[in-house]
Amino acid sequence: MPSNFVAKGADGYEAIMGRWSQRLAVPFLDFSGVPSSGRVLDAGCGTGSLTLALAAHPNLTAIEALDFEANYVAALRNRSADPRIRAQQGDVCALPYGDEEFDGVYSLLVLHFVSNPHQAVREMRRVLRRGAMAAATVWDNYGGMPSWRLFWDTIRALEPEAVGTGAIPAKRPLTGEGELRAAFEGAGFSDVADAMLAIRMDYADFEDFWHPMVYGQGTFGSFFDALPEARRNRLRDAVRAAYLAGESDGPRGFASVAWAVRGAA
């Protein structure tokens, strides 16, 4: 099944997503738990934020990492020489593993981007050994990402024709309160628990905020570049004013929230 995440290379991913997934990986693993030993899977590894956090647990014997984008897999391979890590291209909706192979399965900021998230959750349970734990986390798209809301609300206000074209992200599946938990319960997991996880998205200045949002991933960059120069300048100036909020340019930090769930096979 195809991914509906519009990728633009590993560097673009790091700018818009990877630096935040690094911050989220540790609290996510604190919530989900890591087995004392055995084989684990990072389902939808991206460039490896969670994989490398798992590798910090020395008693794990094998860490499988899988992602739909081949260039992300290549980036992960370049980031670590840990012999326990095996990274490969694949589809989280059709995991290329046998039944009950893993002692832990994890999905960090992935399920809201796949073509069939409920199928992906069922696959996570299928490859998990009986009694072992799986866990997943997704961004709270309703109000948990104020920096992104600042950007997209400004775009909607000034360029309403962008709505419905794919240039502005729509609400993604499993990102509402209780939706991720319901997906785990529907897939047959037991002892299901959920939580809210919070990190800070810190930007050095407006350019650090602006450029990844426009060109990091997705289709908005193409829409923006096709606008007349005057409209491009108007949009940029409006987003800059929202970012600055009447103050001088410089660092800004935004608390951001993700939903997390765990359950036993």
- Transcribe 214-261 into DSSP letters: HHSSSSHHHHHHHS-HHHHHHHHHHHHHHHHTTS-SS-EEEEEEEEEE
Is 226 domain-assigned? no
Write out pLDDT tens, residues 120-171. Answer: 999 999 999 999 999 999 999 767 889 989 999 999 999 888 887 777 777 7
Instruction: Indicate the pTM of the whole model.
Output: 0.89
Contact 249, 205 (CB under 8 A): yes
Is 233 domain-assigned? no
CATH number at residue 132: 3.40.50.150
Write out pLDDT tens, residues 13-58. Answer: 665 676 888 999 999 999 999 999 999 999 999 999 999 999 999 9
Is 163 domain-assigned? no
Query: Structurally, how many domains does the chain consist of?
Result: 1
The residue segments making up the domain with residue 76 are 10-144+170-201+256-264
Tell me the C-alpha to C-alpha distance, in Å, between residue 215 and each of 3, 168, 189.
Answer: 19, 13, 38
Is 66 domain-assigned? yes
Contact 160, 235 (CB under 8 A): no
Residue bearing tokens 């911050």 = 23
Is 158 domain-assigned? no
